[in-house]
Structure 1
Amino acid sequence: MKLLTATSTTQDPDERGGELGLKFGDRFDRAAELYLQHFDDLQIPADTVRCIAETSHAALGVWAPGLAAETEAIAAAAHVELWKLAAVGARTEVLAAAPPRSEGECSTAVFTGVGRAPETMQTWDWHAFLVPDGLLVSLVSEEGRRVKMFTEFGTAAKIGVNDAGLGLHFNILAHTGDSDHGGVSVHAIARRILNEATSLEEAEKIAASAAVSASTCLTVFELHEGSSRAASLELSPSGMGIVRPGEDGWLFHTNHFLDPELCRGDTMPADSTTAERYQHLDAIRGSLAGLGPLDRARAACGGEGAKAAICMTPDTGKPLIDQWCTLLTVCVDVENFALVYYPGRPDEAAAHGLTRF
């Protein structure tokens, strides 16, 4: 995955969308083309994809008009049909119309406590063929918050930080309540939290206000007066669960529900590695704290290097749609308002170094 960067200083969503669409029109168009083909490969009917995309965008227009306007401006400037770009923005909602695959996405670790800034790391696992390019954006929200985020071309946000000392990681989930009803995009919820929230309580309130049709976990963390807090917000059409760190300050999340009520409806396939990855993080907690981002990436492998459970390498013996890859290793530095990343696995990050954005 090649990472491209953009900076926008306007607080006007139409202007921002126009800037992004003009600068990266070919990337937005390519992302829409790749995702529509992927949905077809998953045997999701084309009319279902369009219906979910349009319904989800309409829901976004009510819940977050500025984000809807930004999407519309990107589509216009990039000369991409709005519903096609909206299908990328609602890619999790479209995927909810098909049974979950045997794998999930992403492993997250956050360490918080009194007298310390959050120490975080996430692997972002997805299909390399779907994301030849990723996007790092620095922007100013309508509310005046400075935001830095990583996302795909066409999705509102994924992983990020704002200048209020609040950051966010992102993990997909699957639940019996998921449907093709086309609710507010979970990626838009992540973006609105980054745009507006200055505390965990505000982030929880924003997330709880959205009617969703697909499940996802947003792990939110903050630094306030020298101490840090975190919570995993497990979003589902059946409700929102909130998971707090353990007594030792650690909070881990992969791709299964941890909330005791919501986990009863978990539909992540039994052959997913989500439990294995969670157990790996839990097992190395004693050696992961108190490290800088580079050493944290190295320690996260637990001495196993590329063979660590959280490091995904595509199995070329499987169909393309079942080939998973760790496309990004990222630490969120809320204290210094930065994303520290490497476009690959944690063992590769440890070997080649991290970049600060």
Structure 2
Amino acid sequence: MSGDSATRSEQYGHLAATQIAIIRDGYERAFAAQGVSWAEATAQARGYLPAIETHLPDLVTELRGIATGSGLGFDEILTINCRTEILHRATVASVPTSTRIPGECSSFAFEGDRVSTGAAVIGQNWDWLAFLQPGTVILEVERPDLPNYVTLVEAGLLGKITLTASGLALGLNTLVTSLDGRADGVPFHCVIRALADSPHVAAALETVSRLPRASSGNYLLAGSDGAILNLETSPGGPRNVRPQVARDGALFHTNHFLDRVPDGFDLAPVGMSDSFVRFGRIERRLGSTAVPHPDAALRVALTDHVAAPNSVCCHPDPSSPEGAQWKTIASTILTPETATLEYTAGPPCESTWNRLDYAAFFT
């Protein structure tokens, strides 16, 4: 899609209308499984609109354009873009008897000397509700006023796993704390979208820190200049951002906090308990500093099945209800220096790797 904010977002809505409808109906189903009706979810989402209008007003234009193009209402598009806040609120409200929410993502980042290509890289398995996979798309966004970007995302959402013309790559992990469920901050997926405008890793840290965030989340960053950085965040402002620097040129993350949560506590043991084993597995597979890792080693690490089905390479659990089954929706490797996005459509152990080269699109 291309053009100004209104034009390109309306194109997005029109071109992905079928997939957006899948995502909209899928989240109504996901919310209901957590005891939240669609009407309640929409009311909650409306509570985040003032913060978006105040801090990221251009994104309101994009949300309206997606709604217009897709034929859905503005409130429907706003609600799916607040899916993290709605699900987190339900989790916090139900502690300690919370039903588990799907764990999102095992990820890593390496500086160039830790991989055979010599370029910084981010790798990630995105684990989410299995019935939402048919609504997943790759957006290629051409902009006249800001750098182009590409994002792999649930259709209708503003952004997720992202690669930009300015040389920034972004991976993500869901985090949830006792502080989540607020309605006075910017939603997680709006923060993600804002990062597509950042010129480099340091600027991305500034963006995350200056925005009053409604939810917890982890942002894994790599730059075409070789920089890597991880940001653990809980709701709030700069006090609740914990930058984590690479050790021996590597970063690893799953769905629990590695640092202390200011004024709150981590709910991963309740909502995403498999995160701890997954972290240990991805670190063991890729933690060695003996030799640079070849591409094949990165891909193999993302197929790890220890503690299956809720493993690094995640598959539906047949003992769970169909609507509560999740799997690896996509496995991704992003290399900002070469402007490449590699991905699988589904678990990497059973899917073909695809490579997209965006060097020309980013020029």
Gaps of 5+ in 1: 1-7
Given residue 348 of structure 2, which amino acid in structure 1 is its aligned partner? P
Name the CA distance, whole Å, in 2 between partners of 1:323 and 1:302: 19
| Alignment match, 2:104 | 105
| Alignment match, 2:163 | 161
- Following superposition, the deviation at residue 294 of structure 1 comes to 4.4
Q: What is the TM-score with the length of structure 2 in the denominator?
A: 0.86
| 1:71-124 superposed Cα distances (whole Å, 9 cap, x missing partner) | 101101211011111111111011112116434210001111569421221000
Alignment partner of 1:249 is 2:249? yes
Q: SS at the partner of 1:329?
A: strand
Q: SS at the partner of 1:170?
A: strand
* C-alpha spacing 1:137/1:294, structure 2 compared with 1 (3 Å): farther
Given residue 83 of structure 2, which amino acid in structure 1 is its aligned partner? R
* C-alpha spacing 1:308/1:151, structure 2 compared with 1 (3 Å): closer
| Alignment match, 1:265 | 265
Q: SS at the partner of 1:157?
A: coil
| 1:34-76 superposed Cα distances (whole Å, 9 cap, x missing partner) | 2112212210244431122122233222221222101101101
| Alignment match, 1:237 | 235
* C-alpha spacing 1:305/1:217, structure 2 compared with 1 (3 Å): closer
CA contact (8 A) 1:293 1:340 kept: no
Given residue 219 of structure 1, which amino acid in structure 2 is its aligned partner? L
Alignment partner of 1:40 is 2:32? yes
Of 42, 55, 58, the residue aligned with 1:66 is: 58
Name the CA distance, whole Å, in 2 between partners of 1:22 and 1:50: 22
| Alignment match, 1:3 | none
- Following superposition, the deviation at residue 285 of structure 1 comes to 1.9
| 1:210-232 superposed Cα distances (whole Å, 9 cap, x missing partner) | 222221101111122xxx12111
Name the CA distance, whole Å, in 2 between partners of 1:219 and 1:342: 19
Alignment partner of 1:344 is 2:337? no
Q: What is the TM-score with the length of structure 1 in the denominator?
A: 0.88
Pairing of 1:1-357 with structure 2 (within 5 A): 8-10=1-3, 12-99=4-91, 101-102=99-100, 103-112=102-111, 116-141=118-143, 143-181=145-183, 183-194=185-196, 196-224=197-225, 228-238=226-236, 239-246=240-247, 248-262=248-262, 265-270=265-270, 272-286=273-287, 290-301=292-303, 309-349=311-351, 352-356=352-356
Q: Percent identity?
A: 25
| 1:312-339 superposed Cα distances (whole Å, 9 cap, x missing partner) | 1111211234312011100001012121
Name the CA distance, whole Å, in 2 between partners of 1:142 and 1:257: 38
* C-alpha spacing 1:93/1:143, structure 2 compared with 1 (3 Å): farther
The root-mean-square deviation of aligned C-alpha atoms, in Å, is 2.5
Name the CA distance, whole Å, in 1 between partners of 2:318 and 2:19: 26
CA contact (8 A) 2:9 2:65 kept: yes
Name the CA distance, whole Å, in 2 between partners of 1:49 and 1:307: 30
* C-alpha spacing 1:263/1:312, structure 2 compared with 1 (3 Å): farther
Given residue 256 of structure 2, which amino acid in structure 1 is its aligned partner? H
CA contact (8 A) 2:105 2:127 kept: yes
| 1:114-165 superposed Cα distances (whole Å, 9 cap, x missing partner) | 6942122100000111332211011134642011111111211110111121
Moved more, 110-119 or 211-220: 110-119
CA contact (8 A) 1:302 1:308 kept: no
Name the CA distance, whole Å, in 2 between partners of 1:263 and 1:212: 15
Q: SS at the partner of 1:336?
A: coil
| Alignment match, 1:4 | none
Name the CA distance, whole Å, in 2 between partners of 1:23 and 1:344: 22
Given residue 234 of structure 2, which amino acid in structure 1 is its aligned partner? S
Gaps of 5+ in 2: 92-97, 358-363
| Alignment match, 2:95 | none
